[in-house]
């Protein structure tokens, strides 16, 4: 079992930026919550991860939410507003009889499929260009 601490995750910028997500406790379902602290709490990117066991399967869930905040001025009053949010979700389901290596291989395949060098997948998800 891992101890809870900060998550440091690099983005894909030309010069990668390390984003630090700090623990924020758990929700009512036992999902572990993290956020990247900024000047506007409503605009903080959020990361969550949870694991539950049901019917002989271990089900993992990861979610990343990245809001975009802009300043809105109405009648001379400026206030930050979330104008859109990007979401990414990853769900896993492993049989209780699966081996550590089977789970590691499955996760590795998925992670590596998201590399920029996987042009079909990258173009579809990042460039919003369907595969023909």
Give pLDDT tens digits for 69-122: 999 999 999 999 999 999 999 999 999 999 999 999 999 999 999 999 999 999
Look at the chain and report how many structural domains it folds into. 2
pLDDT at 1 over 80: no
Q: Check whether residue 17 and residue 81 sit in a common domain.
A: yes
How far apart, in Å, are the Cα atoms of 84 and each of 49, 65, 66? 22, 10, 9
pLDDT at 68 over 90: yes
Domain that holds residue 112: 99-132
Distant-in-sequence, close-in-space partners of 56: CB < 8 Å, separation ≥ 6: 95, 96, 97
Residue 71 lies in a domain: yes
Is the pTM value of this prediction over 0.75?
yes
| CA–CA separation, 39 and 20 (whole Å) | 14
The CATH number of whichever domain residue 43 belongs to comes to 3.30.380.10
Q: Check whether residue 80 and residue 111 sit in a common domain.
A: no
Q: Check whether residue 130 and residue 112 sit in a common domain.
A: yes
Residue 127 lies in a domain: yes
Q: Check whether residue 38 and residue 80 sit in a common domain.
A: yes
Report pLDDT for 80.
92
Q: Check whether residue 60 and residue 18 sit in a common domain.
A: yes
């Amino acid at each position: 079992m891992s101890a809870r601490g900060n998550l440091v995750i690099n983005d894909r910028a030309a010069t990668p930026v390390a984003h630090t997500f700090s623990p924020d406790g758990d929700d009512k379902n036992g999902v572990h919550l993290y956020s990247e602290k900024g000047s506007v709490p409503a605009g903080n990117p959020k990361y969550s991860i949870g694991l539950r066991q049901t019917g002989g399967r271990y089900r993992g869930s990861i979610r990343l939410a990245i809001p975009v905040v802009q300043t809105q001025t109405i009648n001379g009053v400026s206030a930050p507003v979330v104008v859109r949010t990007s979401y990414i979700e990853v769900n896993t389901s492993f049989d209780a009889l699966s081996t550590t290596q089977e789970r590691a291989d499955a996760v590795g395949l998925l992670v590596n499929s998201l590399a920029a060098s996987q042009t079909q997948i990258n173009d579809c998800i990042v460039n919003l260009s369907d595969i023909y």
